Amino acid sequence: MVQIHSTGVRHVSHDIFARLKEDHESHRAILDKLAETHGESNERKELLEQFTKEVKSHAAAEEQALYSTMLRKPPTTDMTRHSVAEHHELNELLNDLAAQDMSTSAWMAAFKKLDHDYRHHINEEEEDHFPEFEPYLTDEDREHMRSVFDRRKAEEKDEAEVTPEKMEDAKE
């Protein structure tokens, strides 16, 4: 993550867990802004598109960098599978939200579920999974994850789509 501080200095975190947490903070901020939007506004559309592309690319890169590594470490397999399963559930919630009419209370209900479930997921990663994973990582693992994460996130973000589907298709 590139951050520009008030001094104008750019900072990129090299620790994989700090890097993932930086993304999570950005996602929380977008969710906060989305919660303040109303109706079918351009702001709501733009924030939803931004959030969807950010989260889908983050999740795909996280799976390819962190979770593919952790699956090879038996003590972390269950936690890893749990997080990957949640990624798929969150992807379905994003698709369902995109299928809703933004001007309805159903959209806000779907957004609140997504918001709740996503915050639960990232809090669980940060508070439980990342600290549990830490002791199992070698320096080689860390270097591999750092290089894979940012490269894959950029590639995935270029491919990520907001997929407004018809309601009857969204649950499939």
Ordered by start, the domain boundaries in the chain are: 16-159
Assess if CATH 1.20.120.520 describes domain 16-159: yes
Q: What is the mean pLDDT of the chain?
A: 87
**Is the predicted pLDDT of residue 172 greater than 80, yes or no?**
no
**Is the predicted pLDDT of residue 26 greater than 60, yes or no?**
yes
Q: Contact at 8 Å (CB) between 71 and 167?
A: no
pLDDT value, residue 163: 67
For residue 40, give the DSSP letter: S
CA distance 147 to 145: 6
When pLDDT is averaged across residues 74-80 and rounded to a whole number, the result is 95
**Is the predicted pLDDT of residue 43 greater than 50, yes or no?**
yes
**Is the predicted pLDDT of residue 150 greater than 50, yes or no?**
yes
- At residue 15 the predicted structure's pLDDT band, cuts being 50, 70 and 90, is confident
Query: Could you please report the per-residue DSSP string of 54-100?
Result: HHHHHHHHHIIIIIHHHTTSGGGHHHHHHHHHHHHHHHHHHHHHHHS
Q: Name every residue whose Cβ is closer than 8 Å to that of residue 76 and which is 6 or more positions away in sequence.
A: 70, 129, 132, 133, 136
pLDDT value, residue 6: 40
When pLDDT is averaged across residues 131-137 and rounded to a whole number, the result is 95
Distance from the Cα of residue 167 to its chain's centroid = 23
